[in-house]
Structure formats: structure tokens, C-alpha cells
Amino acid sequence: MRFDSGRVCLDLVATFTPHEGIPDGDELRVWLAGAGLVPDRTPLARVGPDWAAAFRALRGDVETLVRAELAGGAAPSASTANALARVNALAAGPPPGLCAVRDQEGHLVRELCGGVECGALLAAVARDAVELLTDPGDLALLRACEGDGCTRVYLDTSRGHRRRWCSSELCGNRERVARHRRRALASGSR
């Protein structure tokens, strides 16, 4: 799993490719921890397939809205209106409560007060999407990867804002290799 899109809501969208990243609760547990949505050592035993389904549904709605913005945010369709209503409804819920508790050595560590709630975690991601979609500065940095066959979306926070790929090591490198091969073929055919 990768967490390099620049926003937690876009990292969720990225779990769709190249294959289903959150098919059930096990993968969702890894994703929640990797995305930093839950503090370390949070017990996630309750995270099940119904949670994964809810996160996949939110992912589909965020993707619909983000791609509509990438397409220029023109005349909203019924599907974007429905997606927006669902994301707004989730974002209106309370995000996870955070508290500091003493561990066995007496150090203060973070914990979710009241335990992990699916609705609260969905609210945190939906809120991130609302903040992204309503921030003109962030929207101006929204990009779709130019990599061949790559559908990832990310925020271009690079200096100069000329980043073309979701990852320089993956899509960027693939493009450089392809370019090199084309050049080698062209010089060989002369």
C-alpha cells in the first residue's frame, strides 16, 4: 500500500489500483494504520468486511468528485450530486476522539477515546475530501498521473509544480526506461 498522494482521501482513492486494496477487514486494518488514521497499537479487532465495504463506497464517491474537478468541475451531473450528498453526510459526523493516556512505562501515548468507530473514521476521511474540494489552492495542485495506464491522482506539492507522475520511482522511472528504449530503437534502425 502507498501513502504518497499528499492527502488521506486521495490515498483512499489510490487503493483501487492496480488491484482491490481493501477487499476486507484485514487489508483495511493495514490501510487505517498506514494512513495514520488510528494511533499505533489501536486494537482493530472490530474492523470487518462491512467496514471495508463502507470505505470502498466512500472511495468511489471521493473518486467521482475528484475526477469531476480534474475535468474542470463543469456542470454537475446527478452522479456527482449524489456522491457529494453522501460525502457531506459522512463529513458531518464527529471524527475520532483523541486522548493521551499513560503506557506501562508512564509515557503519554495517543489513544482513541471511546474506541474505534467506523463512522468516525469515515468522517475523518470525508472531512479531508470536503476540505480538499473546497480549497482553491489545493484544487489547483490536483493532478492525474501521466504514467501509461496509471490512474492515480495526487497533489503536486513539488517546488515549481511540475510533477508529472504519482511516483518518480514507479511511473516516472517506467517512462524514462520507455523513452530510453525508443531512442535506442530509433538509433538502431538508422
Q: Which residues contact Zn ion by CB under 5 A?
A: 145, 147, 150, 152, 166, 171
CA-CA distance, 173 to 116, in Å (whole number)?
Answer: 39
Task: Quote the DSSP letter at residue 24.
Answer: S
Phi, psi of 163 (to 5 degrees): -70, 130
Please identify, using beta-carbon distances, which residue of 149 and 188 lies nearer to Zn ion: 149
Q: For the CB of residue 18, give the shortest distance to Zn ion in the complex, in Å.
A: 10
Q: For the CB of residue 23, give the shortest distance to Zn ion in the complex, in Å.
A: 22
Please identify, using beta-carbon distances, which residue of 65 and 171 lies nearer to Zn ion: 171
Please identify, using beta-carbon distances, which residue of 51 and 165 lies nearer to Zn ion: 165
The answer to whether the beta carbons of residues 31 and 54 sit under 8 Å apart is no
The answer to whether the beta carbons of residues 149 and 174 sit under 8 Å apart is no
Please identify, using beta-carbon distances, which residue of 21 and 147 lies nearer to Zn ion: 147
Q: For the CB of residue 126, give the shortest distance to Zn ion in the complex, in Å.
A: 25
- Which grid coordinates belong to 54? 463502507
CA-CA distance, 83 to 64, in Å (whole number)?
Answer: 7
Q: For the CB of residue 148, give the shortest distance to Zn ion in the complex, in Å.
A: 9
Please identify, using beta-carbon distances, which residue of 110 and 164 lies nearer to Zn ion: 164
Q: For the CB of residue 166, give the shortest distance to Zn ion in the complex, in Å.
A: 3
CA-CA distance, 16 to 143, in Å (whole number)?
Answer: 17
The answer to whether the beta carbons of residues 51 and 98 sit under 8 Å apart is no
